[in-house]
Amino acid sequence: MRFVVDVMLGRLARWLRLLGFDVIYRPDAHDDQLIAIAEAEERTLLTKDARLLRNRRVNGYLVRSARWEEQLREVIAEFHLRAFIRAFTRCPECNTPLVEIDRESARPRVPPKVYEQQREFYRCPDCARLYWAGTHVERMSRKLEEVLNR
């Protein structure tokens, strides 16, 4: 299940990526560009704008909720995504799947304390950010559980 989201749904895009879903978010794209992306890449267009879905052949879904937590629950329920959740496998910044790198090569790029505490490091091949299971991941995991299990 692949998505492209409109400019109103940046927060939702980020959290869907954190759950492992492939989501294109281009805040600077025009309506026609979003539709072109959805068509060309066979993505479902998630939007808050009903006009975008009118008289178009594009696969689209009108997101009803206002808050991102509810939007996330809404989209997961609508598309039955629960079984496909692979949390923290994709770069939330640029949508690229993360790859594990060996611990030694992470060493010069992370604080010494992090290197000592963590066994696994992941890198985004596109934007080169490094990821590891730090406190922010714990915080996000708790938030996700709270959102998904409410």
Q: Interface with Zn ion by CB under 5 A: which residues?
A: 91, 93-94, 96, 124, 126-127
Cα 63 versus chain centre, distance: 16
Q: Tell the smallest beta-carbon distance from residue 38 to Zn ion (Å).
A: 22
**Concatenated DSSP letters of 118-150:** -S-EEE-TTT--EE-S-HHHHHHHHHHHHHHH-
Nearer to Zn ion, 126 or 138 (CB): 126
Q: Tell the smallest beta-carbon distance from residue 123 to Zn ion (Å).
A: 9
- Rounded Cα gap, residues 110 and 115, in angstroms: 6
The two three-digit tokens of residue 148, written as one number: 């998904």
Nearer to Zn ion, 62 or 128 (CB): 128
Nearer to Zn ion, 35 or 123 (CB): 123
Nearer to Zn ion, 77 or 127 (CB): 127
Q: Tell the smallest beta-carbon distance from residue 61 to Zn ion (Å).
A: 26
Q: Tell the smallest beta-carbon distance from residue 2 to Zn ion (Å).
A: 17
The two three-digit tokens of residue 62, written as one number: 């009108």
The two three-digit tokens of residue 22, written as one number: 């492939």
